[in-house]
Amino acid sequence: MSPHKSPNIIKYCVITSTTAVVLIAITLIPVSRKASYWNRCLDKTVRWINEKEKGLKGWDKEAKESLAVAVCNGAVYEPKLEIKEFTSTTK
């Protein structure tokens, strides 16, 4: 092995590693945008539930966040909430 091949191998390894890191970073951009959009959706939906929906005042934070997750994931298409009142029949 010639003494000049060693610096070339190091140079090619550095170039290859740098290229790989750049390509990985480029492929993560769409994922980070989707995550940012989803987080904004969650924050806005929880804020809307807290401000506008008076019938959910008795719900705890986890229940409201669970509903917001369903909305942001697309499970709830229209925010028409039906709240069933439970009455006790025992006297």
What's the pLDDT at 54?
Answer: 76
- Greater confidence (90 vs 64) lies with 64
pLDDT exceeds cutoff 70 at 3: no
| Token pair listed for 17 | 């590693």
Amino acid at 70: A
Q: How far is it, in rounded angstroms, from Cα 18 to Cα 15? A: 5
pLDDT exceeds cutoff 90 at 82: no
Q: Mean of the pLDDT values across residues 27-55?
A: 89
| H or E element, residue 91 | none
Q: How far is it, in rounded angstroms, from Cα 27 to Cα 40? A: 21
pLDDT band for position 52 (50/70/90)? confident
Q: Where are the alpha helices (DSSP H) in 53-87?
A: 61-73
* Chain mean pLDDT for the chain: 82
Q: Where are the domains of the chain?
A: 5-73
pLDDT exceeds cutoff 70 at 66: yes
